[in-house]
Amino acid sequence: MAAPVFEDARRRFGDYALDYVSIQDRPLDHIGAREMDRLAEIVQESEMLLAQAVPFETHDDPEMLALIQRVRALRRNAARVLAASGLDRSWIPDKPSVMSLNQEDSIAVAKALLDPPEPNEVLRRAFEEYKSTVAL
């Protein structure tokens, strides 16, 4: 992984981890809506960070692999706190999530939706991890 990208990933993980530690140290009934929103952001942002790191999982960079494992653990733990709070999807902020795509990307998304590719090994592992975190 390019050094600046790795440093950015490490910095973002550090920010998530610090926020998570400050939130999870309190009893569940003392965690407010703002903290729940931040936990939801941590889960969503760590998902994006992991998606960016997927291409680097095949490299023999132990530091990157360790970071990926720590991000996965943080995401699981933050999701567990949200689940244990008994909240449904009510913790998701009312901000609409909008993504602008250029024409080439729009076509690629449409093709993938109409004719989805077979799941690759990374997707299979992600699904197994998801099943172990969320009771299906």
What pLDDT does 40 receive? 84
φ, ψ at 40 (rounded to 5°): -65, -40
Q: Is the pLDDT of residue 88 over 50?
A: no
Angle at 82 between CA 80 and CA 87, to 5 degrees: 130
Token digits for 75? Answer: 């995401």
Question: How many residues are recorded in the chain?
Answer: 136
Q: Residue 58: enclosing H or E segment and its boundaries? A: none
Binning pLDDT at 50, 70 and 90, where does residue 91 land?
Answer: very low
Q: What is the model's pTM?
A: 0.55
CA distance 56 to 61: 8
Sole residue written with tokens 């902020």: 93
Integer Rg of the chain from CA: 17
3-state helix, strand, coil in the chain (%, to 5): 70, 0, 30
Tens digit of pLDDT for each residue in 40-66? Answer: 888 888 888 877 776 666 566 778 788
pLDDT-derived band at 136 (thresholds 50, 70, 90) equals very low
pLDDT of residue 84: 74
Average pLDDT over residues 101-105: 81
